[in-house]
Amino acid sequence: MAGNFFYDLAIKREKKEFLQGNEDLTVSTAAMDVFLKGDWRSWVANQDFEQWQLESYDGLHLNGYFLEAKKPTNKTVILAHGYLGDAMDMGLYGQYYYEELGYNIFTADLRGHGGSEGDYIGFGWHDRLDYLDWTDKVINRVGKDAEIVVHGLSMGASTVLMMSGERLPENIKAIISDSAYTSVYDLFKYQMNRMYHLPAFPILPTTSLITSIRADYSLKEASALEQVKKANVPILYFHGKNDDFVPTKMASKLYQNTEKAEIMLFAEASHGEAYAIYREQYQTKLTEFLTKYMR
């Protein structure tokens, strides 16, 4: 059955080979040098992260990692990684928050990734609730006056956007979304056409039904777009204009449906490359945004 095939292909936790050779994920030489050889990797390896554990609402054991700032502060960034990544991938961003802005850092392995349990990938939907629970742990650790920015990349970006529509603690002052998709259904529809030249119907409704049975969420239910419509926290969107994996129009649609929002698009950046290629411009915009909303 095609629905089972696409569930196993994208959602079941196992080695994923279907993305190898995907032209939409071709990384520029400049970005690849940063991803593979950047000094952030040695920086991460030299930090003494506290390892935290969380039992999710549905009984999964999840791993998180906290790094206290050099000087006492009530400011913390909570980072969320992308598809098939892990918590420490976000050290690329965490290094700036820690070294330049003086923030505490928290990052976690999303369910089905890294050291966290889960036999499926949630694409942000269940993870949004996990991240609410992680946020409570951060507040308990930092203090009731904690000021928090939540920053996600790709699937992690959609995770934090899905989180935005929930009842958030007042401690969350801002959200940063880098390369997010509008919904899992929209993403799969786009990729099925682009990668396999297949129509969404009837395969996606069947895949969604199987996902509901095996992973307890539907592809349309997992919608960042519907969540940001309810968001009260200001959101900054970053996206590459050359992103053919998660098309730029998704970021524009999210931005247009968010009450308090800003957006910055990067001309030559493909999926998730903006920070690696345009680091100075990205950091300037990020800091400018945070200055407005973090005391």
- Of 12-16, 64-68, 109-113, 116-120, the least confident: 12-16
| Residue 188, H or E segment | helix 184-196
Which residues lie closer than 8 Å to 157 by C-beta, 6 or more apart?
80, 82, 176, 177, 178, 179, 180
Most confidently modeled of 22-31, 33-42, 67-76? Answer: 67-76
> In this model, does residue 127 exceed pLDDT 90?
yes
> In this model, does residue 1 exceed pLDDT 90?
no
Of 165, 82, 170, 162, the C-alpha closest to 127 is 162
pLDDT for 201: 85
Of 82, 284, 292, the C-alpha closest to 177 is 82
- Mean pLDDT computed over every residue of the chain: 94
Distance CA 154, CA 158 (A): 6
> In this model, does residue 77 exceed pLDDT 90?
yes
Which residues lie closer than 8 Å to 12 by C-beta, 6 or more apart?
119, 120, 121, 214
Whether residue 263 contacts residue 234, with contact meaning beta carbons closer than 8 Å, is answered with no
CATH 3.40.50.2000 is right for the domain spanning 2-293: no
Cα 220 vs. chain centroid, distance in angstroms?
18
pLDDT, tens digit, 9 for 90 and up, residues 201-232:
888 999 999 999 999 999 999 999 999 999 99
pLDDT: which is higher, 21 or 192: 192
Radius of gyration of the CA atoms of the chain, in A: 18
pLDDT for 24: 59
Distance CA 225, CA 247 (A): 14
Structure tokens at 126: 């269940």
> In this model, does residue 182 exceed pLDDT 80?
yes
pTM over 0.75: yes
Structure tokens at 109: 């392995």
